[in-house]
A and B are shown apart, each in its own frame.
Chain A
Amino acid sequence: MSNQTPLPEPQEQLPAVGPTARGVENYRGNARRRIIRRYSGYLFLAPYLVLFFSFLILPLIYGFWLSLVDYEMLSPEPPGFVGLDNYSEAMDDPYFWQAMKATGLYVGMAVPLGIGLALLMAVLIDSLPQKRQGFYRLMIFMPTMITITVAGLVWRWFYHSEFGLFNAMLERFDIWVPWLTDTTWAMRSIVLMSVWWTIGVPLVILMAGLKQIPVSYYEAAAIDGATGYRRFLYITFPLLRPILLFVVVLSIIGSFQVFGQTFIITEGGPELATRVIMHYIYDTAFNFYRMGYGAAMSWILFAVIIVFSLLQFRIFRER
Chain B
Amino acid sequence: MLAKEGLLGHLNVTRFSHRFQVITMPTFVRFRLLLLLLPLALIGLIITGMSGCRGGGDVIHLRYWNGFTGPDGRTMLQMVRRFNEENPDVRVTMQRMAWNTYYNKLFVAGLGGRAPEVFVLQTDAFVRFMQADFLRPLNDKIMGENGIDMSDFDPNVIDTVYHNGNYYAVPLDAYILGMYYNRDLFRQAGIVDEHGDPAPPTNREEFLHATRKITELGQTDIGNIWGFVFTFFRYNLAGIMSQFGGSLFSEDGTRTLINSPENVEALEFAVSLIQEHRVAPNPEAIDSWIGFRQGRVGLVFDGIYMLPDLQRQGDLDFGAAPIPQLGPEPGTWMGSHNICLRADLDEETAEAAWRFARFLSDNSLDWAEGGQVPVRRSLRDTERFNNMYAQREFARQLEIGQYLPSNPFVFEYFTELDLALERALRGRMTPQAALDLAAANIQEIMRRYGIIPSDEADGET
Give the shortest distance, in Å, between B69 (CB) and chain A (any CB). 10
B428 neighbours in A (Cβ, 8 Å): 271
Which residues of chain A in 163-180 are interfacial with respect to chain B, using CB atoms and an 8 Å cutoff? 163-164, 167-168, 171, 180
CA distance A288 to B422 in the complex (A): 21
Interface string of A132-173 (1 = CB under 8 A from B): 000000000000000000000000110011111001100100
Could you list 17 A-B pairs, sorted by A, with CB under 8 Å? A3-B14, A47-B36, A47-B40, A156-B286, A160-B288, A162-B229, A163-B296, A205-B4, A205-B7, A208-B4, A209-B11, A246-B7, A267-B285, A270-B285, A288-B411, A288-B412, A289-B107
Picked from A74, A163, A243, the residue with its CB within 8 Å of the CB of B131 is: A74
Residue of A nearest to B108 (CB): A286
Across the interface, A162 reaches (CB within 8 A) one of B104, B111, B291, namely B291
Q: B188 in the interface, Cβ–Cβ < 8 Å?
A: no
Q: A262-301 toward B: CB 8 Å interface, digit per residue (1/0)?
A: 0001110111100000000001001111000000000000
Whole-angstrom CA separation of A265 from B40 in the bound complex? 35
How large, as a class, is the contact surface on chain A?
Answer: 35 or more
Q: Name B residues whose Cβ lies closer than 8 Å to a Cβ of A.
A: 3-4, 7-8, 10-11, 13-15, 18, 21, 36, 40, 103-104, 107, 111, 128, 131-132, 222-224, 226, 229, 281-288, 290-291, 294, 296, 408-409, 411-412, 415, 419, 422-423, 426, 428, 449
Q: How far is the CA of A209 from the CA of B4 in the complex (A)?
A: 11
Given A161-B282, A201-B4, A287:B411 Cβ within 8 A: yes
Contact indicator A73/B111 (Cβ below 8 Å): yes
Q: Name the CB-closest residue of A to B110.
A: A73
Let me know if B422 and A168 touch, CB within 8 A: no
- A204 at interface (Cβ–Cβ under 8 A)? yes
Decide: A271 and B426 in contact? CB cutoff 8 A: yes
B286 touches A208 (CB 8 A): no
- Tell me whether B290 and A157 are in contact (CB under 8 A): yes
Are the CB atoms of A181 and B284 closer together than 8 Å?
yes
Beyond the given A73-B132, A162-B282, A208-B7, could you list 7 further A-B residue pairs with CB under 8 A, ordered by the A residue number? A4-B21, A74-B131, A74-B408, A162-B284, A181-B426, A266-B285, A271-B423
Q: Which residue of A lies closest to B101 (CB)?
A: A286
Q: Across the interface, do A156 and B415 meet the contact criterion of CB distance under 8 Å?
A: no
> How distant is the Cα of A162 from the Cα of B288 in the complex, in angstroms?
8
On whether the beta carbons of A269 and B291 are closer than 8 Å, the reply is: no
Cα A204 to Cα B1 in complex, Å, equals: 10
Contact of A35 with B by CB under 8 A: no
Whether A212 and B15, one on each chain, are in contact in the complex, defined by CB atoms closer than 8 angstroms, is yes
Give A residues with C-beta under 8 Å from B: 1, 3-5, 47, 73-75, 156-157, 160-164, 167-168, 171, 180-181, 201, 204-205, 208-209, 212, 243, 246, 250, 265-267, 269-272, 283, 286-289
**Do the beta carbons of A163 and B422 come within 8 Å of each other?**
no
Q: With A and B bound together, what is the CA distance between A204 and B5 in angstroms? A: 10
* C-alpha spacing A167/B3, complex, angstroms: 38
Q: Are the CB atoms of B285 and A157 closer together than 8 Å?
A: no
Whether B426 lies near A270 (C-beta < 8 A) is: yes
Are B132 and A74 closer than 8 Å at their CB atoms? Answer: yes
**Main SS of chain B's interface residues?**
helix
Q: A157-B290, A288-B412 are in contact. Are A269 and B422 (CB under 8 A)?
A: yes
Known: A201-B4, A212-B15, A269-B422. A171 touches B284 (CB 8 A): no
Among B285, B286, B419, B449, max chain A CB count under 10 A is at B286
Are B426 and A163 in contact, with the CB atoms below 8 A? no
CA gap between A65 and B4 in the complex, in Å: 34
CA distance A201 to B409 in the complex (A): 40
**Interchain residue pairs A-B with the least CB separation, the first 3:** A286-B104, A163-B291, A287-B411
Tally of A-B Cβ pairs under 8 angstroms: 102
A272: chain B residues within 8 A (beta carbon): 419
Closest CB of chain A to B108's CB: distance in Å? 8
Contact of A181 among B282, B294, B411, B412 (CB under 8 A): B282
C-alpha gap A157/B288 in the complex (Å)? 9
B415 to chain A: closest residue by CB: A283
Chain A residues within an 8 Å CB radius of B3? 250
Contact (Cβ within 8 A) A163 B294: yes
B282 to chain A, nearest CB (A): 6
* Alpha-carbon separation in the docked complex, A75 to B132 (Å): 9
CB-CB under 8 A for A267 and B286, given A74-B128, A162-B223, A205-B4: yes
Residue of B nearest to A247 (CB): B7
CB distance from A11 to the nearest CB of B (A): 20
> In the docked arrangement, what's the CA distance between A245 and B17, Å?
24
> Which residues of chain B have C-beta atoms less than 8 A from A168's C-beta?
222-223
Query: Does A160 contact B409, Cβ atoms closer than 8 Å?
Result: no
Docked CA distance A75–B451 (Å): 12
Alpha-carbon distance between A296 and B291 when the two chains are bound, in angstroms: 42
Within 8 Å CB of B14, what residues of A?
1, 3-4
Closest to A289 in B: B107
Q: Do residues A156 and B287 form an inter-chain contact, with CB atoms below 8 A? A: yes
Q: How distant is the Cα of A168 from the Cα of B4 in the complex, in angstroms?
A: 39
Q: Which residue of B lies closest to A243 (CB)?
A: B7
Q: Which B residues are in CB contact (< 8 Å) with A47?
A: 36, 40
Task: Tell whether, in the assembled complex, residue B282 and residue A269 are in contact, meaning their CB atoms are under 8 Å apart.
Answer: no
In whole angstroms, what is the CA distance A288 to B128 when docked?
11
Give every chain B residue within 8 A of A180 (Cβ-Cβ). 284, 286
Chain A hits for B449, CB < 8 A: 75
Q: How far is the CA of A288 from the CA of B291 in the complex (A)?
A: 33
Q: Tell me the complex Cα distance, A160–B223, Å.
A: 12
Q: How far is the CA of A248 from the CA of B103 in the complex (A)?
A: 36
Point out the residues of chain A lying under 8 angstroms from B286, CB to CB: 156, 160, 180, 265-267, 269
CB distance from A103 to the nearest CB of B (A): 18
Cβ-closest chain A residue relative to B450: A75
CA A167 to CA B224, docked complex, whole Å: 12
Nearest CB in chain A to that of B224: its residue: A162
Among the listed A74, A160, A286, which residue makes an inter-chain contact with B284, where contact means beta carbons less than 8 Å apart? A160
A63 to B286, CA, bound (A): 34
B132: nearest chain-A partner, CB-CB: A74
- Chain A residues near B285 (CB, 8 Å)? 266-267, 269-270
List B contacts of A205 (CB < 8 A): 4, 7
How far is the CB of A247 from the nearest CB of chain B, in Å? 10
Contact of A4 among B13, B226, B281 (CB under 8 A): B13
The chain B residue sitting closest to A214, CB to CB, is: B15
Report Cα–Cα, A267/B40, bound state, in Å: 37
Write the nearest CB–CB distance from A88 to chain B, whole angstroms.
15
Task: Give A208's nearest chain B residue, CB to CB.
Answer: B8
Q: How far is the CA of A270 from the CA of B408 in the complex (A)?
A: 26
| Complex interface: chain A residues within 8 A of B111 (CB) | 73
| A-chain residues with CB within 8 Å of residue B288 when the two chains form the complex | 160, 162-163
Bound Cα distance A86, B427 (Å): 34
